[in-house]
């Protein structure tokens, strides 16, 4: 994990609802989120799947979402009986509303939203690391798909859950972003600008929610800890230590 930026309030132990206090223990190697109800977008592979698994291991109830129901069911099945798979297209407000409604039906509410869904540069230019593509060669459909998934998806999901959180006593929004170098890197349109939009919107969301019981934070995860389409596959040298694989 490369870092995190607080767009609003600092994340800490908190009361998510008037009736129940959830203890968040952040001592080394111990994180407890018992009973916390979390929706993770783009949770079928890569960073999203890793975060969903870590949240479930910490005791959270996790909704694993993806555009395909079958792909969402596979990782959810390994996270215990409290995990819920749900088909979700974050670009579509009707799909967003249906998914959040399912979480409310199952759990009675949502305490945390992790806006992770995104599409990497590989969908726009498979050779983006070795042969950067200028922005004028990016197709409009390719541009829209990346921006609508990353930026519009964050907006639609937060728009749907924040009123529930405010009525329920509080909650957490965590928007996954990227470092500033990636935002403005040559050949990274539309991926970089979409991330810049997420950061700007997160700050605006935090300002709108200032003084409330709902916080918005930006998380910048490292890309080498999981298998993800967001970064290219780079062959490892045999002499290098295997620092990316846990035993």
Catalytic residues, which ones?
191
Reported for 30-35, long-range contacts at CB under 8 A and 24+ positions apart, including other chains, are 31/58, 32/58, 32/59, 33/58, 33/59, 33/60, 34/58, 34/59, 34/60, 35/59, 35/60, 35/61
Q: Are 164 and 110 in contact (CB under 8 A)?
A: yes
> For residue 169, with 0-12 CB atoms within 10 Å meaning exposed, 13-18 middle and 19 or more buried, which class applies?
middle
The residue with tokens 């690391």 is 129
Tokens of 98: 């249906």
Whole-angstrom distance, CA of residue 185 vs CA of residue 11: 30
- Radius of gyration in angstroms for the set of CA atoms belonging to the chain, rounded to a whole number: 18
């Amino acid at each position: 994990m490369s870092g995190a930026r607080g767009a609003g309030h600092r994340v800490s132990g908190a009361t998510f609802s008037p009736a129940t206090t959830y203890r968040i223990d952040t001592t080394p190697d111990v994180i407890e989120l018992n009973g916390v109800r979390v929706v993770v977008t783009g949770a079928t592979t890569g960073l999203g799947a890793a975060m969903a698994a870590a949240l479930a291991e910490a005791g959270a109830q996790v909704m694993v979402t993806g555009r395909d129901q079958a792909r969402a069911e596979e990782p959810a099945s390994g996270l215990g009986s409290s995990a819920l798979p749900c088909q979700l297209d974050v670009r579509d407000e009707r799909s967003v509303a249906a998914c959040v409604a399912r979480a409310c039906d199952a759990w009675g509410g949502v305490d945390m939203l992790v806006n992770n869904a995104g599409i990497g540069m590989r969908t726009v230019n498979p050779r983006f690391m070795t042969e950067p593509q200028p922005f004028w060669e990016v197709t409009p459909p390719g541009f829209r798909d990346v921006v609508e998934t990353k930026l519009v998806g964050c907006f639609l999901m937060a728009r749907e859950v924040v009123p529930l959180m405010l009525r329920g006593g509080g909650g957490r929004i965590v928007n996954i972003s990227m470092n500033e170098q990636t935002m403005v890197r040559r050949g990274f349109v539309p991926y970089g600008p979409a991330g810049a939009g997420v950061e700007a919107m997160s700050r605006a969301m935090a300002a709108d929610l200032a003084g409330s019981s709902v916080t918005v934070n930006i998380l910048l995860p490292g890309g080498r800890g999981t298998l993800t389409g967001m970064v290219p596959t780079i062959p490892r040298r045999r002499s290098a230590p295997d620092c990316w694989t846990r035993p």
